[in-house]
Amino acid sequence: MKSHPSLSICILFLCLSCMVGVVSATNPYQKPGFLDFDSWFWHTPRGPQMYSCITYIERNLQVDCIFPETHKIPGPFCEFKQDGRLMGSTYPNTPVQLIPPIETRRRVNVSLVAANICRLTWMPLSDDRAYTYTCRVYQGSTWKENSMAFHQRNLLVCSAISMLFHTGPWMLGVVISLPMSLGFLSG
C-alpha cells in the first residue's frame, strides 16, 4: 500500500483553515487558543471559566474564575454567589441590602489574584448537599457570568497536578495526531 503524505497535509491544512474564523473572533470570551482543543467552536467559552478544588490543609473550597484580560475602565470587578445569594464581591459600589451577613463575611474571601483571575476562598460548613456557584465579572460596562454546580466532597485537592488535568487532553491529542498527520505511521 502506497503512502500519500500530500493527503495528510491537505487534511491538516483543511482543519487549520476551518479554525481561522474561530481564532480571529473579536470577542475575547469567544477567542480560543490556537491549539486549545477544549475551546474550539463547539466548546467556545461564553463567559468566565471556573475551576474548583479543596485546599490541602485548611479544607477550604477554592473557586478560580478566569476571564480574558482587557484594559476597559472601570474594572475588572467580580462577585461570587452561592445559590443566588451574594457571598462576596470586589465591586466597590455593592448596594447595602446585598452585602452578605457578618457570619458569611467571616468565612469568605473574594479577591483578584491576577489581572484576569478572581478567587473565592470559602470555609464551608459540613453541609451534605450540592450548591450552585456563580461568578460574575464586570469589565467596562458589562457583566459576564458563569455558574457551576458541585458538591465539595467530590472535588480534587488544589495542587499543581490538578492543573495538568486541565491541559492533559489537548496535549494527548497533539501527541497522537501529529505523527499521523505527518505520515510517520503509514505502513
Cα–Cα distance measured from residue 180 to residue 184, given in angstroms and rounded to the nearest whole number: 6
| Residue 27: pLDDT over 80 | no
Which cell goes with 88? 462576596
- H helices present in the chain, as ranges: 5-18, 20-23, 102-107, 160-181
- pLDDT tier at 152 (50, 70, 90 boundaries)? confident
Rounded-to-integer distance, Cα 38 and Cα 19, Å: 13
Residue-wise pLDDT for 28-55, tens only, equals: 444 445 555 554 545 555 678 899 898 8
How is residue 101 annotated by DSSP? P
Write down the pTM of the prediction: 0.61
Q: Of the segments 2-11, 29-38, 109-118, which one has the largest average pLDDT value?
A: 109-118
Domains of the chain and CATH, by start: 28-33+45-170 (2.60.40.10)
Show Cβ contacts of residue 23 under 8 Å, excluding neighbours closer than 6 positions. Answer: 31, 32, 34
Q: How confident is the model at residue 113 (pLDDT cuts 50, 70, 90)?
A: very high
Residue 107 half-sphere exposure, CB side, CA atoms within 13 Å?
Answer: 13
Please provide residue 73's backbone torsions phi and psi, each rounded to the nearest 5 degrees.
-110, 135
CB 79 within 8 A of CB 115: no
**Are 11 and 177 in contact, with CB atoms under 8 Å apart?**
no
What is the tens place of the pLDDT at every residue in 82-97?
999 899 999 888 777 7
- AA identity, residue 101: P
- Please write the tens of the pLDDT for every residue from 128-141: 788 999 999 988 88
Residue 114 and residue 95: Cα distance in Å, rounded? 25
- Cβ proximity of 121 and 141 under 8 Å: no
